[in-house]
């Protein structure tokens, strides 16, 4: 059995590594919660499959260098303090990451150097002149078409001949920059990337973002082919270093350490590999080798979760770097043959929209942020997690942060789940159920009990003749529905299924009214049994989303630790002899 389990490729989910240039806000917690939902879900879906979950901080680059300068602190000390705050936030929110990587760690730097040297040997890096509009906030270059003059009052001293420019997409200020940089041959991979995405080998979800990626490959090509001497469409090469005079806070280019620093995004994207042990080198150091990714290596990522702001980096740049690392050396290469290692691309990229404040993107640089620690203290960790997951689990549209909505969702969950648990496990109901005479109903007998088919001319509002049976069958269908939604990366839909079941459960108990003196004890017994079974299944399914509350619920129901996985939610249990203790969940 253990060899079988060992043979499974671990499940690997990643979140972006955040810039520790300021304290984290709700947007960061949101992405972490999404990562945690999938990590927890996989752990209970298949407890024999190891799960790796990477989070961390992205600590190099101009943005951090400038923020540290402004604070009057050495960059490393600056990052130590702020990276700790991101980690504390993750811990407070019960984010079950397995690796928290900081790009200032030696293990990461070594991996980045290894990639640089390998790509250099393979001929994918060259030195060139680079010009463009650089945004320090976004840490990237923009083309002329991607920037516009900032709307400034006409009296502004920035107006006139040289208006300040901003990125059209992010509104971040940009400045014209001309540099001698090391370049990466991104253009060499346009066709391969296009084929890869057309064949859906990596699925970018939701689908509009998959189309957006294909469009980036297209528009990049049309942009380039508009130039008369471009013989065929290309995706423009990218600059992957900065002169040391401008950027000293970063990993030095291994072949030119005194003059150039590696571009922060080239460095950062490799964290997904360095975090799980890349480079996976064989013991022998011969220059010609081939390393198979063994079953214990988590790469490739099964799921990468990102905000829509960083799609290009994850959908184009990282895949191109992986393709370059996996490709053979060009025949003309005068270097000894560098390592051959096939590095597949990630399976799925979940791209989410943004949390806004008054419809403007919440951002560290703008400072218009909601504080996740304050929110969790006010409302509770699981209530905030639930709100982020249910409202933010649709991914397609930006969502405005709203304490009113948060309160509304919180009340609904407390009522549908918390009050329901207290109601159906109350002393009076338990006492009435004890008076039921044998033969006692069982889940099997309830599930197979007859329902009287309504007459074909019956009005549609006819009462369900067997509401307990209906509820039990709906509860049994829940794990499959939630699984389907989560496998499709539809977090909001998964929660919709759970809430719909809880609504039905509440309606059922209200209809039957087991607390009324006229309800026969056998019906009280059956109602309580079905309610507890509904709560057991719901509790198991809720674990990925609200782990503390789900734990309290399952503890209260007396569900043993070994029976909280997905398969247990789908199998029958015998409630006889179980001790249920109704507890406050919120």
Distance of CA 316 to the CA centre of its chain: 18
**What is the C-alpha separation between 474 and 504, in angstroms, rounded?**
9
**Rounded CA separation 157/164 (Å):** 10
> Which of 269, 320, 391, 535 is the binder for ligand ME8 (CB under 6 A)?
269
Single out the residue of 237, 230, 250, 303 nearest to residue 272, CA to CA: 303
Residue range at the interface with ligand ME8 (CB under 6 A); choices 26-34, 165-173, 324-332, 477-485 = 26-34
Question: What DSSP element (H or E) covers 13?
Answer: strand 11-14
If one counts every other C-beta atom within 10 angstroms of the C-beta of residue 224, the result is 16
Q: Does 322 bind ligand ME8 (CB under 6 A)?
A: no
Neighbouring-strand partners of residue 305: 350
Binding mask 225-254 for ligand ME8 (x = CB under 6 A): ------------------------------
Smallest distance from the beta carbon of 27 to ligand ME8, in angstroms? Answer: 2
Residue 265 beta carbon to ligand ME8: minimum distance, rounded to whole angstroms: 7
The dihedrals phi and psi of 361, each to the nearest 5 degrees, come to -55, 130
Please report, for residues 100, 121, 322, 347, the alpha-carbon distance to residue 340 in angstroms, rounded to integers and kept in the order given: 28, 12, 12, 21
Structural tokens at position 130: 């680079």
Determine the interface stretch with ligand ME8 among 12-20, 196-204, 295-303, 516-524 (rule: CB under 6 A): 12-20
Q: Single out the residue of 35, 132, 279, 307 in contact with ligand ME8 (rule: CB under 6 A).
A: 307
Query: In the numeric block, which tokens belong to residue 481?
Result: 């529905």
Phi and psi angles of residue 554, each rounded to the nearest 5 degrees, phi first: -65, -35
Which of 308, 423 has the CB closer to ligand ME8? 308
With CB under 6 A as the contact rule, the residue among 11, 12, 13, 17 that binds ligand ME8 is 17
**Cβ proximity to ligand ME8, 265 vs 586, nearer residue:** 265
Looking at the Cβ atoms of 262 and 436, the one nearer to ligand ME8 is: 262
DSSP 8-class letter at 252? B
Site membership for ligand ME8, residue 387 (CB under 6 A): no
Q: Cα 533 vs. chain centroid, distance in angstroms?
A: 31
- Residue labelled with tokens 């928290």: 100
Nearer to ligand ME8, 125 or 269 (CB): 269
CA distance linking residue 253 with residue 123, whole number of Å:
15
Beta bridge partners of 132: 177
Q: Which stretch binds ligand ME8 (CB under 6 A): 90-98, 265-273, 482-490, 558-566?
A: 265-273
Asked if residue 87 binds ligand ME8 (CB under 6 A), the reply is: no
List 13, 16, 323, 494, residue binding ligand ME8 (CB under 6 A) = 16
Q: Is 19 a residue that touches ligand ME8 (CB under 6 A)?
A: yes
Q: Which two tokens stand for residue 378?
A: 């006010």
The residue within the footprint of ligand ME8, chosen from 90, 268, 322, 482 (CB under 6 A), is: 268
Which position among 141, 355, 395, 525 is part of the footprint of ligand ME8 (CB under 6 A)? 355
Query: Can you tell me the distance from the alpha carbon of 304 to that of 267, in angstroms, rounded to the nearest whole number?
Result: 17
**Which span sits near ligand ME8 by CB under 6 A: 2-10, 28-36, 93-101, 414-422?**
28-36
Strand positions, DSSP E, 218-285? 238-239, 241-243, 260-262
Segment interacting with ligand ME8 (CB under 6 A) among 230-238, 252-260, 307-315, 338-346: 307-315
The set of residues, in sequence order, having a beta carbon less than 8 Å from that of 125 and lying 6+ positions away, is 116, 119, 182, 183, 184, 185, 240
**8 A C-beta contact, residue 94 and residue 547:** yes
Is there binding between residue 310 and ligand ME8 (CB under 6 A)? yes
- Among 36, 179, 309, 533, indicate the residue that binds ligand ME8 (CB under 6 A): 309
Shortest separation between residue 13's beta carbon and ligand ME8, angstroms: 13
Q: Does residue 550 interact with ligand ME8 by CB under 6 A?
A: no
Residues 6 or more apart whose Cβ sits within 8 Å of residue 442: 529
The minimum distance between CB 62 and ligand ME8, in angstroms, equals: 12
Nearest to ligand ME8 of 19, 130 (CB atom): 19
SS3 337: coil
> Shortest distance, CB of residue 60 to ligand ME8, whole angstroms?
10
Q: Is position 536 an interface residue for ligand ME8 (rule: CB under 6 A)?
A: no
Q: Whose structure tokens read 């066709």? A: 191
Residue 520 near residue 440 (C-beta atoms within 8 A): no
Among 52, 60, 354, 385, binds ligand ME8 (CB under 6 A): 354
Distance CA 260, CA 243 (A): 5
From candidates 31, 118, 202, 508, binder to ligand ME8 by CB under 6 A: 31
Assess 65 for contact with ligand ME8 (CB under 6 A): no
Segment 357-386, which members bind ligand ME8 (CB under 6 A)? 361-363
Q: Give the number of residues in contact with ligand ME8, rule: CB under 6 A.
A: 21
CA dihedral over 280, 283, 285, 291, signed as positive or negative? negative
27 touching ligand ME8, by CB under 6 A: yes
263 binds ligand ME8 (CB under 6 A): no
What SS3 state is found at 9? coil
Binding residues (CB under 6 A) for ligand ME8: these are 16-19, 27-28, 30-31, 58, 268-269, 271, 306-307, 309-310, 354-355, 361-363
């Amino acid at each position: 059995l253990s060899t079988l389990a060992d043979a499974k490729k671990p499940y690997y989910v990643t979140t972006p590594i955040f810039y520790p240039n300021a304290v984290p806000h709700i947007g960061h917690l949101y992405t972490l919660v999404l990562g945690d939902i999938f990590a927890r879900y996989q752990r209970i879906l298949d407890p024999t499959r190891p799960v790796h979950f990477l989070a961390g901080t992205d600590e190099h680059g101009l943005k951090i260098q400038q923020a540290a300068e402004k604070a009057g602190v050495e960059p490393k000390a600056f990052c130590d303090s702020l990276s700790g705050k991101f980690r504390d936030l993750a811990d407070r929110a019960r984010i079950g990451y397995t690796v928290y990587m900081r790009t200032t760690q030696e293990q990461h730097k070594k991996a980045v150097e290894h990639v640089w040297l390998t790509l250099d040997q393979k001929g994918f890096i060259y030195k060139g002149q680079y010009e463009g509009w650089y945004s320090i906030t976004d840490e990237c270059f923009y083309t002329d078409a991607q920037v516009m003059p900032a709307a400034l009052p006409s009296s502004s001293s920035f107006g006139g001949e040289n208006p300040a420019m901003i990125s059209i997409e992010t509104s971040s200020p940009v400045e014209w920059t001309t540099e001698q940089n090391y370049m990466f041959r991104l253009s060499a991979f346009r066709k391969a990337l296009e084929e890869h995405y057309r064949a859906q080998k990596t699925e970018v979800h939701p689908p509009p973002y998959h189309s957006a990626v294909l469009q980036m490959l297209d528009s990049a090509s049309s942009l380039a082919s508009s130039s008369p001497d471009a013989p065929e469409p290309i995706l423009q090469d990218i600059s992957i270093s900065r002169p040391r005079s401008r950027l000293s806070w970063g990993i030095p280019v291994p072949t030119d350490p005194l003059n150039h620093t590696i571009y922060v995004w080239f460095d950062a994207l490799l964290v997904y590999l360095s975090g799980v042990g890349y480079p996976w080198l064989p013991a022998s150091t011969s220059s010609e080798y081939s390393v198979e990714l063994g079953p214990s290596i988590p790469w490739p990522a099964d799921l990468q979760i990102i905000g829509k702001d960083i799609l290009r980096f994850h959908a184009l740049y990282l895949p191109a770097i992986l393709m370059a690392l996996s490709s053979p050396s060009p025949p003309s290469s005068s270097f000894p043959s560098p390592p051959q290692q096939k590095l597949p691309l990630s399976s799925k990229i979940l791209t989410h929209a943004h949390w806004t404040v008054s419809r403007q993107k919440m951002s560290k640089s703008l400072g218009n942020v909601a504080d996740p620690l304050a929110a969790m203290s006010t409302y509770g960790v699981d209530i905030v997690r639930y709100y982020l997951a249910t409202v933010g689990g649709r991914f397609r549209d930006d969502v405005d942060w709203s304490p009113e909505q948060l309160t509304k969702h919180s009340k609904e969950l407390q009522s549908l789940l918390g009050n329901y648990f207290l109601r159906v496990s109350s002393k009076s109901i338990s006492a009435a159920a004890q008076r039921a005479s044998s033969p006692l109903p069982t889940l099997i007998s309830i599930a197979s009990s007859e329902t009287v088919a309504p007459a074909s001319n019956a009005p549609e509002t006819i009462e369900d003749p067997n509401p307990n049976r209906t509820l039990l069958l709906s509860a049994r269908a829940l794990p499959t529905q939630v699984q389907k939604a989560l496998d499709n990366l539809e977090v909001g839909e998964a929660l919709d299924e759970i809430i719909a079941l809880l609504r039905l459960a509440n309606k059922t108990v209200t209809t039957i009214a087991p607390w009324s003196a006229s309800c026969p004890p056998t019906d009280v017994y059956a109602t309580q049994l079905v309610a507890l079974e509904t709560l057991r299944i719901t509790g198991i399914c809720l674990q990925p989303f609200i782990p503390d509350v789900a734990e309290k619920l399952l503890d209260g129901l007396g569900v043993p630790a070994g029976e909280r996985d997905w398969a247990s939610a789908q199998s029958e249990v015998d409630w006889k002899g179980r001790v249920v203790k109704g507890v406050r969940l919120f």
